[in-house]
């Protein structure tokens, strides 16, 4: 005879009690919204630590902001150490530890390494930043990219220069193109060589000059530029190189009408402002940017200010915005799929259609290759050490200033 019967509790009573609990408990269980486990990979140490840490700050606030929109996510935070091999092994690790989606990985080389792992493990990768064309040209089935390709960055960046000239009435006659010789810079140079001849630009491109990001200074390169004497300097840099460039231009007293990046970071990073002070102002970047007038951007900014009071949203918002939006894309796919397995999530990602988001442009949608082609480029100008949208008009908060003021006399 069982102990239940001996204690006066029959099997019938036990089952009835269990049924009663089962009828009441599911109301609590069903109220719990499922949570998606996402691994965010970014270079939080090494050469690209500064922008990688900005991406990380965006990832830290994403769950709270997304919760207000009805999404639940759990994040795993991974440092790729600006190392391709580390990015690859960390991707393997987080998948083994239960990550259903990976978001990242900022630099194109690391992104390609992570993409290979995700393809083998059948885990979706949502590319937040990374512009190398091959990311969406390799036929990966478990990948979408919410960022422009190198050709798109360049074509949109050059188009924005035309818009800038029309808005200010300032003309450029001759330009020089300066670019890093790393994966990103070389890709942009190849895109420039292909795009510029057919872009119908109203100025000539006198020369393209490559530089080594590991160089102590850019004195030689600035000397070459000064000898050509362009009124427009187009640059593809990151913050440490942009700092070297401006310092060498000031030393050599070279003052073009404008320094514009047609699609790269560097000029809007906090370290650029801190190193150069007033000399950091009036440079321009034609690049995808957050829409300061969008309600979701304003919600993101409010959360950022609370969580990171020692950092400026304006200087971080590019990296924060794209990181947040990639996590939003993953969360939206999970909510629609109702499952976290790779195949279901990937099917949902392919049918993404998000109208309300933070980056300037149309709805987030992906083509057959996994590329979002609706991202626009804004003209952002540094004003009082604040990256400020000056074009397009519907997103602008200030008017552009051209030509840029002389180096001397800035305060």
Q: Which of the four CATH numbers 3.40.50.2300, 3.40.50.720, 3.40.50.12780, 3.40.50.300 does domain 151-287+378-391 have?
A: 3.40.50.2300
pLDDT in tens, 348-368: 999 999 999 999 999 999 999
pLDDT of residue 151: 87
- The rounded mean pLDDT for the chain is 91
Which DSSP helix (H) or strand (E) runs through 234?
strand 232-236
The answer to whether domain 36-148+292-350 and domain 151-287+378-391 are alike in fold is yes
Banded pLDDT at 20 (limits 50, 70, 90): very low
**Taking 90 as the threshold, does the pLDDT of residue 183 lie above it?**
no
Percent of the chain with pLDDT over 90: 82
Structure tokens at 230: 């362009």
Q: Evaluate the omega torsion of the peptide bond into residue 78 and state whether it is cis, within 30 degrees of 0.
A: no
Tokens representing 300? 């993101």
> What local confidence, expressed as pLDDT, does residue 33 receive?
52
| Two structure tokens written together for 196 | 């510029």
Domain boundaries, the chain: 36-148+292-350, 151-287+378-391
Strand duo 232-236 + 258-261: pairing = parallel
* pLDDT higher than threshold 60 for residue 250: yes
Q: Tell whether omega for the bond before 363 is within 30 degrees of 0, i.e. cis.
A: no
CATH of domain 36-148+292-350: 3.40.50.2300
pLDDT score at 265: 81
Confidence band (pLDDT; 50, 70, 90) for 187? confident
Q: What mean pLDDT comes out for the span 119-147?
A: 96
| Full-model pTM | 0.83
Mean pLDDT computed over 153-165: 93
259 token code pair: 């320094």
- What pLDDT, on a 0 to 100 scale, did the predictor assign at position 171? 96
Lowest-confidence region among 15-24, 186-195, 307-316, 396-405: 15-24
């Amino acid at each position: 005879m069982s102990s239940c019967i001996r204690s006066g509790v029959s099997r019938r009573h036990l089952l009835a009690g269990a049924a009663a609990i089962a009828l009441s408990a599911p109301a609590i269980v069903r109220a719990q919204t499922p949570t998606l486990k996402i691994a965010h990979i970014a270079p939080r140490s090494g050469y690209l630590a500064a922008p990688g840490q900005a991406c990380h700050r965006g990832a830290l606030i994403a769950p709270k902001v997304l919760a207000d929109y009805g999404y639940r996510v759990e994040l795993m935070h991974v440092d790729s150490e600006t190392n391709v091999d580390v990015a690859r092994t960390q991707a393997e690790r987080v998948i083994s530890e239960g990550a259903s989606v990976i978001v990242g990985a900022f630099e194109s080389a690391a992104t390609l390494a992570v993409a290979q792992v995700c393809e083998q493990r059948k885990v979706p990768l949502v590319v937040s930043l990374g512009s190398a064309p091959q990311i969406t040209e390799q036929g990966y089935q478990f990948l979408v990219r919410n960022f422009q390709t190198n050709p798109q960055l360049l074509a949109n960046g050059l188009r924005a220069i035309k818009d800038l000239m029309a808005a200010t009435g300032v003309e450029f006659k001759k330009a020089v193109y300066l670019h890093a010789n790393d994966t990103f810079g070389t890709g942009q140079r190849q895109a420039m060589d292909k795009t510029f001849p057919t872009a119908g630009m109203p100025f000539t491109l006198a020369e393209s000059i490559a530089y080594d990001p590991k160089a102590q200074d850019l004195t030689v390169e600035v000397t070459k530029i000064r000898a050509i004497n362009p009124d427009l300097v187009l640059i593809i840099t990151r913050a440490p190189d942009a700092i070297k460039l401006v310092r060498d231009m000031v030393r050599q007293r070279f003052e073009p009408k404008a320094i514009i990046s047609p699609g790269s970071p560097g000029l809007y990073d906090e370290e650029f402002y801190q190193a150069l002070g007033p000399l950091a102002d009036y440079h321009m970047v034609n690049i995808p940017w957050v829409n300061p007038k969008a309600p979701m951007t304003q919600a993101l900014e409010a959360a950022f200010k609370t969580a990171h009071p020692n950092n400026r949203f304006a200087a971080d918002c590019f990296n924060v915005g794209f990181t947040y939006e990639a996590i939003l894309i993953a969360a939206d796919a999970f909510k629609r799929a109702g499952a976290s397995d790779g195949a279901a999530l990937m099917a949902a990602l392919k049918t993404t259609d998000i109208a309300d988001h933070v980056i300037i442009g149309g709805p987030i949608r992906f083509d057959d290759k996994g590329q979002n082609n609706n991202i626009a480029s804004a003209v952002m100008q540094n004003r009082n050490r604040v990256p400020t949208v000056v074009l397009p008009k519907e997103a602008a908060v200030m008017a552009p200033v051209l030509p840029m003021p002389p180096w001397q006399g800035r305060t």
